[in-house]
Amino acid sequence: MNSKSLGTFTDNFYQEREDFLAKSYPGLSKQRLKDELEQFALQKLVNVDDLFESQYIPSGKNPITYFFDCLMKAYPLEYIRGRAHFYKSEFDVTPSVLIPRNETEILVEKSVELVKEWTRKSDEIIRVLDIGTGSGAIIISLLQEFERPIEAFATDISKEALLVARRNYFNLRFTIPRESSLNLIYTDRMKDLSSEKFHVIVSNPPYIKEENDREFVHDQVDSYEPHLALYLKDETYDLWFVDLFKQVHNSLYEEGMFLMEGHEDHLENLADLCQNIGFSTVEVLQDYTNRNRFILAKK
Protein backbone atom coordinates (compact mmCIF):
# COMPACT_ATOMS: atom_id res chain seq x y z
CA MET A 1 0.00 0.00 0.00
CA ASN A 2 1.19 3.46 -0.87
CA SER A 3 1.83 5.37 2.36
CA LYS A 4 3.61 8.55 1.31
CA SER A 5 2.83 11.92 2.81
CA LEU A 6 0.55 14.07 0.69
CA GLY A 7 3.43 16.55 0.31
CA THR A 8 5.74 13.90 -1.18
CA PHE A 9 2.94 12.56 -3.39
CA THR A 10 2.22 16.09 -4.68
CA ASP A 11 5.92 16.81 -5.32
CA ASN A 12 6.30 13.56 -7.26
CA PHE A 13 3.05 14.11 -9.15
CA TYR A 14 4.24 17.58 -10.21
CA GLN A 15 7.75 16.47 -11.21
CA GLU A 16 6.61 13.43 -13.17
CA ARG A 17 4.06 15.43 -15.18
CA GLU A 18 5.72 18.82 -15.43
CA ASP A 19 5.37 19.14 -19.23
CA PHE A 20 1.76 17.97 -19.26
CA LEU A 21 0.84 20.32 -16.41
CA ALA A 22 2.65 23.27 -18.03
CA LYS A 23 0.67 22.68 -21.25
CA SER A 24 -2.67 22.16 -19.54
CA TYR A 25 -2.30 24.78 -16.82
CA PRO A 26 0.01 27.50 -18.14
CA GLY A 27 1.97 29.16 -15.33
CA LEU A 28 0.96 26.65 -12.65
CA SER A 29 3.79 26.48 -10.10
CA LYS A 30 4.14 23.67 -7.57
CA GLN A 31 3.27 26.10 -4.78
CA ARG A 32 0.09 27.26 -6.57
CA LEU A 33 -0.89 23.61 -7.08
CA LYS A 34 -0.48 23.02 -3.36
CA ASP A 35 -2.48 26.16 -2.56
CA GLU A 36 -5.29 25.02 -4.83
CA LEU A 37 -5.23 21.57 -3.27
CA GLU A 38 -5.39 23.06 0.22
CA GLN A 39 -8.34 25.27 -0.75
CA PHE A 40 -10.08 22.30 -2.33
CA ALA A 41 -9.49 20.18 0.78
CA LEU A 42 -10.86 22.95 2.97
CA GLN A 43 -14.00 23.16 0.85
CA LYS A 44 -14.44 19.39 1.20
CA LEU A 45 -14.08 19.75 4.98
CA VAL A 46 -10.84 17.78 5.05
CA ASN A 47 -8.72 18.71 8.08
CA VAL A 48 -5.99 20.91 6.59
CA ASP A 49 -3.81 21.16 9.71
CA ASP A 50 -0.51 19.58 8.59
CA LEU A 51 -2.26 18.56 5.36
CA PHE A 52 0.95 17.94 3.43
CA GLU A 53 2.59 16.01 6.27
CA SER A 54 -0.40 13.70 6.61
CA GLN A 55 -0.37 10.24 5.08
CA TYR A 56 -2.07 10.01 1.69
CA ILE A 57 -3.63 6.76 0.48
CA PRO A 58 -5.31 7.15 -2.93
CA SER A 59 -8.83 5.80 -2.95
CA GLY A 60 -12.04 6.28 -4.91
CA LYS A 61 -13.74 7.83 -1.88
CA ASN A 62 -10.98 10.30 -1.05
CA PRO A 63 -11.71 13.82 -2.39
CA ILE A 64 -7.95 14.39 -2.75
CA THR A 65 -7.86 11.50 -5.23
CA TYR A 66 -10.66 13.17 -7.19
CA PHE A 67 -8.52 16.34 -7.32
CA PHE A 68 -5.53 14.49 -8.81
CA ASP A 69 -7.74 12.51 -11.22
CA CYS A 70 -9.15 15.79 -12.52
CA LEU A 71 -5.63 17.17 -13.04
CA MET A 72 -4.76 14.09 -15.10
CA LYS A 73 -7.67 15.01 -17.40
CA ALA A 74 -6.56 18.67 -17.60
CA TYR A 75 -9.86 19.68 -16.04
CA PRO A 76 -9.87 23.43 -15.25
CA LEU A 77 -8.86 24.21 -11.66
CA GLU A 78 -11.84 26.54 -11.28
CA TYR A 79 -14.27 23.74 -12.13
CA ILE A 80 -12.46 21.34 -9.78
CA ARG A 81 -12.95 23.75 -6.90
CA GLY A 82 -16.23 25.13 -8.25
CA ARG A 83 -14.97 28.65 -7.62
CA ALA A 84 -13.30 31.40 -9.63
CA HIS A 85 -11.81 34.72 -8.54
CA PHE A 86 -13.12 37.67 -10.50
CA TYR A 87 -12.70 41.37 -9.80
CA LYS A 88 -13.25 41.65 -6.01
CA SER A 89 -15.04 38.39 -5.23
CA GLU A 90 -15.01 34.66 -5.59
CA PHE A 91 -17.84 33.28 -7.73
CA ASP A 92 -19.33 29.81 -7.90
CA VAL A 93 -18.73 28.22 -11.30
CA THR A 94 -19.94 24.97 -12.82
CA PRO A 95 -19.26 23.53 -16.29
CA SER A 96 -22.49 25.30 -17.39
CA VAL A 97 -20.79 28.69 -17.18
CA LEU A 98 -17.70 30.22 -18.67
CA ILE A 99 -14.87 30.72 -16.17
CA PRO A 100 -14.76 34.52 -15.92
CA ARG A 101 -11.56 35.91 -17.44
CA ASN A 102 -9.11 38.59 -16.28
CA GLU A 103 -9.67 40.76 -19.36
CA THR A 104 -13.37 40.93 -18.56
CA GLU A 105 -12.45 42.79 -15.37
CA ILE A 106 -11.57 45.71 -17.66
CA LEU A 107 -15.14 45.58 -18.95
CA VAL A 108 -16.36 45.88 -15.35
CA GLU A 109 -14.04 48.85 -14.66
CA LYS A 110 -15.21 50.65 -17.79
CA SER A 111 -18.88 49.93 -17.18
CA VAL A 112 -18.53 51.27 -13.63
CA GLU A 113 -17.26 54.51 -15.20
CA LEU A 114 -20.23 54.60 -17.60
CA VAL A 115 -22.73 54.12 -14.79
CA LYS A 116 -20.91 56.75 -12.68
CA GLU A 117 -21.31 59.27 -15.52
CA TRP A 118 -25.05 58.65 -15.44
CA THR A 119 -25.22 58.98 -11.66
CA ARG A 120 -23.54 62.41 -12.01
CA LYS A 121 -26.02 63.71 -14.57
CA SER A 122 -29.28 62.06 -13.50
CA ASP A 123 -31.19 61.55 -10.25
CA GLU A 124 -33.19 58.69 -11.72
CA ILE A 125 -32.53 55.12 -10.70
CA ILE A 126 -29.93 53.91 -13.21
CA ARG A 127 -30.95 50.82 -15.17
CA VAL A 128 -28.24 48.47 -16.36
CA LEU A 129 -28.47 45.29 -18.45
CA ASP A 130 -25.90 42.49 -18.87
CA ILE A 131 -26.54 40.25 -21.89
CA GLY A 132 -25.21 36.67 -21.62
CA THR A 133 -24.48 36.88 -17.91
CA GLY A 134 -23.14 33.34 -17.31
CA SER A 135 -22.01 33.20 -13.67
CA GLY A 136 -23.27 36.77 -13.19
CA ALA A 137 -19.69 37.91 -12.53
CA ILE A 138 -19.92 41.16 -14.52
CA ILE A 139 -23.24 42.48 -13.26
CA ILE A 140 -22.69 41.44 -9.63
CA SER A 141 -19.22 43.05 -9.62
CA LEU A 142 -20.74 46.21 -11.04
CA LEU A 143 -23.53 46.31 -8.46
CA GLN A 144 -20.93 45.99 -5.69
CA GLU A 145 -19.41 49.32 -6.75
CA PHE A 146 -22.45 51.51 -6.14
CA GLU A 147 -23.99 52.71 -2.92
CA ARG A 148 -26.75 54.39 -4.88
CA PRO A 149 -29.45 51.90 -5.89
CA ILE A 150 -29.11 50.39 -9.35
CA GLU A 151 -31.83 48.44 -11.10
CA ALA A 152 -30.00 45.64 -12.89
CA PHE A 153 -31.14 43.01 -15.36
CA ALA A 154 -29.17 40.08 -16.74
CA THR A 155 -30.10 37.60 -19.44
CA ASP A 156 -28.87 34.23 -20.59
CA ILE A 157 -30.10 31.59 -22.99
CA SER A 158 -28.85 28.85 -20.64
CA LYS A 159 -31.17 28.01 -17.73
CA GLU A 160 -28.28 26.23 -15.98
CA ALA A 161 -26.13 29.35 -16.22
CA LEU A 162 -28.93 31.46 -14.76
CA LEU A 163 -29.11 29.12 -11.77
CA VAL A 164 -25.41 29.69 -11.14
CA ALA A 165 -25.88 33.46 -11.48
CA ARG A 166 -28.79 33.28 -9.04
CA ARG A 167 -26.64 31.39 -6.54
CA ASN A 168 -23.83 33.94 -6.85
CA TYR A 169 -26.28 36.79 -6.38
CA PHE A 170 -27.62 35.05 -3.26
CA ASN A 171 -24.12 34.36 -1.87
CA LEU A 172 -22.87 37.89 -2.53
CA ARG A 173 -26.10 39.74 -1.75
CA PHE A 174 -24.56 41.16 1.44
CA THR A 175 -21.91 42.96 -0.68
CA ILE A 176 -24.60 44.86 -2.63
CA PRO A 177 -26.75 47.69 -1.28
CA ARG A 178 -30.15 46.46 -0.17
CA GLU A 179 -32.01 48.88 -2.47
CA SER A 180 -30.28 47.60 -5.62
CA SER A 181 -31.87 44.71 -7.47
CA LEU A 182 -30.90 42.11 -10.04
CA ASN A 183 -33.50 40.44 -12.28
CA LEU A 184 -32.29 37.32 -14.06
CA ILE A 185 -34.08 36.58 -17.30
CA TYR A 186 -34.06 33.55 -19.58
CA THR A 187 -34.17 34.88 -23.13
CA ASP A 188 -32.29 35.13 -26.41
CA ARG A 189 -29.98 38.14 -26.06
CA MET A 190 -32.62 40.67 -24.85
CA LYS A 191 -35.70 39.68 -26.83
CA ASP A 192 -38.10 39.62 -23.89
CA LEU A 193 -36.92 43.05 -22.75
CA SER A 194 -37.75 44.98 -25.92
CA SER A 195 -40.18 47.29 -24.09
CA GLU A 196 -37.62 48.18 -21.37
CA LYS A 197 -35.17 51.09 -21.42
CA PHE A 198 -31.63 51.11 -20.04
CA HIS A 199 -28.93 53.68 -19.39
CA VAL A 200 -26.07 51.21 -19.84
CA ILE A 201 -25.98 47.82 -21.56
CA VAL A 202 -22.94 45.55 -21.24
CA SER A 203 -22.18 42.18 -22.72
CA ASN A 204 -19.50 39.55 -23.05
CA PRO A 205 -21.28 37.40 -25.63
CA PRO A 206 -19.99 34.24 -27.31
CA TYR A 207 -17.64 35.60 -29.98
CA ILE A 208 -15.45 32.81 -31.38
CA LYS A 209 -16.24 31.66 -34.93
CA GLU A 210 -16.94 27.95 -34.62
CA GLU A 211 -14.83 26.94 -37.64
CA ASN A 212 -12.54 29.81 -38.54
CA ASP A 213 -11.20 30.53 -35.03
CA ARG A 214 -11.37 27.08 -33.47
CA GLU A 215 -7.75 26.06 -34.06
CA PHE A 216 -6.63 28.96 -31.83
CA VAL A 217 -8.75 27.88 -28.89
CA HIS A 218 -6.84 26.13 -26.08
CA ASP A 219 -7.72 22.41 -25.87
CA GLN A 220 -8.77 22.74 -22.24
CA VAL A 221 -11.23 25.53 -23.10
CA ASP A 222 -12.68 23.65 -26.06
CA SER A 223 -12.98 20.40 -24.08
CA TYR A 224 -14.54 21.67 -20.88
CA GLU A 225 -16.11 25.13 -21.17
CA PRO A 226 -19.67 25.39 -22.51
CA HIS A 227 -19.73 25.79 -26.29
CA LEU A 228 -22.85 27.91 -25.95
CA ALA A 229 -20.68 30.45 -24.15
CA LEU A 230 -17.83 30.32 -26.67
CA TYR A 231 -18.94 29.76 -30.23
CA LEU A 232 -21.18 31.26 -32.89
CA LYS A 233 -21.73 29.83 -36.36
CA ASP A 234 -19.43 31.41 -38.98
CA GLU A 235 -22.23 31.83 -41.54
CA THR A 236 -24.53 33.79 -39.26
CA TYR A 237 -21.88 35.53 -37.15
CA ASP A 238 -22.37 39.07 -38.49
CA LEU A 239 -26.15 38.71 -38.57
CA TRP A 240 -26.20 37.56 -34.94
CA PHE A 241 -24.42 40.75 -33.92
CA VAL A 242 -26.46 43.04 -36.17
CA ASP A 243 -29.57 41.63 -34.54
CA LEU A 244 -28.01 42.22 -31.10
CA PHE A 245 -26.96 45.79 -31.94
CA LYS A 246 -30.48 46.61 -33.18
CA GLN A 247 -32.06 45.31 -29.98
CA VAL A 248 -29.54 47.24 -27.89
CA HIS A 249 -30.02 50.46 -29.85
CA ASN A 250 -33.79 50.18 -29.52
CA SER A 251 -33.59 49.76 -25.73
CA LEU A 252 -31.06 52.43 -24.79
CA TYR A 253 -32.10 55.84 -23.53
CA GLU A 254 -30.79 58.75 -25.62
CA GLU A 255 -27.04 59.00 -24.90
CA GLY A 256 -27.20 55.51 -23.37
CA MET A 257 -23.98 53.50 -23.61
CA PHE A 258 -23.22 50.00 -24.86
CA LEU A 259 -20.01 48.19 -23.95
CA MET A 260 -19.25 44.77 -25.43
CA GLU A 261 -16.28 42.41 -25.29
CA GLY A 262 -15.35 40.72 -28.56
CA HIS A 263 -12.77 38.87 -30.64
CA GLU A 264 -9.72 40.91 -31.57
CA ASP A 265 -9.90 39.81 -35.23
CA HIS A 266 -13.57 40.69 -35.70
CA LEU A 267 -14.13 43.83 -33.64
CA GLU A 268 -13.27 46.37 -36.36
CA ASN A 269 -15.82 44.79 -38.67
CA LEU A 270 -18.42 44.58 -35.89
CA ALA A 271 -17.79 48.23 -35.01
CA ASP A 272 -18.65 49.18 -38.62
CA LEU A 273 -21.83 47.12 -38.44
CA CYS A 274 -22.69 48.76 -35.13
CA GLN A 275 -22.15 52.23 -36.60
CA ASN A 276 -24.53 51.39 -39.47
CA ILE A 277 -27.32 50.69 -36.97
CA GLY A 278 -27.38 54.38 -36.03
CA PHE A 279 -25.27 54.76 -32.87
CA SER A 280 -23.86 58.29 -32.67
CA THR A 281 -20.32 57.14 -31.82
CA VAL A 282 -18.64 53.74 -31.94
CA GLU A 283 -15.09 53.05 -30.74
CA VAL A 284 -12.91 49.97 -30.53
CA LEU A 285 -10.99 49.81 -27.23
CA GLN A 286 -7.90 47.75 -26.37
CA ASP A 287 -7.09 45.52 -23.41
CA TYR A 288 -3.87 45.72 -21.35
CA THR A 289 -1.96 43.80 -24.03
CA ASN A 290 -3.04 46.39 -26.63
CA ARG A 291 -5.28 43.95 -28.44
CA ASN A 292 -8.66 45.09 -29.73
CA ARG A 293 -11.04 43.80 -27.08
CA PHE A 294 -14.15 45.98 -26.67
CA ILE A 295 -16.69 48.04 -28.56
CA LEU A 296 -18.00 51.15 -26.87
CA ALA A 297 -21.03 52.71 -28.55
CA LYS A 298 -23.17 55.69 -27.61
CA LYS A 299 -26.77 56.11 -28.74
Ligand X SMILES: C[S@@+](CC[C@H](N)C(=O)[O-])C[C@H]1O[C@@H](n2cnc3c(N)ncnc32)[C@H](O)[C@@H]1O
The kind and range of the H/E element at 283 are strand 281-286
Q: Per rule CB under 6 A, is residue 111 in the interface with ligand X?
A: no
The kind and range of the H/E element at 181 are strand 181-186
**Cβ atoms of residues 90 and 77 within 8 Å:** no
Q: Pairing state of beta strands 83-86 and 89-92?
A: antiparallel
Q: Per rule CB under 6 A, is residue 98 in the interface with ligand X?
A: yes
**Residue with Cβ nearer ligand X (13 or 153):** 153
For 123, other C-beta atoms within 10 Å of its C-beta total: 7
Contact pick of 64, 126, 128, 138 for ligand X (by CB under 6 A):
138
Stretch that binds ligand X, among 19-27, 113-121, 199-207, 212-220 (CB under 6 A): 199-207
User: Residue 149 Cβ, how far from ligand X at the closest point, in Å?
Assistant: 22
Stretch that binds ligand X, among 19-27, 32-40, 141-149, 153-161 (CB under 6 A): 153-161
Q: Per rule CB under 6 A, is residue 76 in the interface with ligand X?
A: no
CA gap 186, 146 in Å, rounded? 25
Q: Pick from 188, 194, 294: which is nearest to 252 by CA?
A: 194
Contact pick of 16, 53, 124, 188 for ligand X (by CB under 6 A):
188
Stretch that binds ligand X, among 56-64, 116-124, 129-137, 212-220 (CB under 6 A): 129-137
Question: What are the C-alpha distances in Å from 14 to residues 10, 44, 254?
Answer: 6, 22, 56
Q: Per rule CB under 6 A, is residue 251 in the interface with ligand X?
A: no
Stretch that binds ligand X, among 22-30, 96-104, 108-116, 118-126 (CB under 6 A): 96-104
CA gap 189, 149 in Å, rounded? 24
Q: Per rule CB under 6 A, is residue 225 in the interface with ligand X?
A: no
Q: Per rule CB under 6 A, is residue 200 in the interface with ligand X?
A: no
Contact pick of 87, 140, 141, 189 for ligand X (by CB under 6 A):
189
Contacts of 221 (CB under 8 A, 6+ apart): 230
Contact pick of 24, 133, 180, 247 for ligand X (by CB under 6 A):
133
**Residue with Cβ nearer ligand X (48 or 242):** 242
Q: What one-character-per-residue DSSP string does 13-45 give?
A: HHHHTHHHHHHHSTT--HHHHHHHHHHHHHHTT
Q: Tell me which residues touch ligand X (CB under 6 A).
A: 97-98, 100, 104, 131-135, 137-138, 155-158, 161, 188-189, 204-206, 228-229
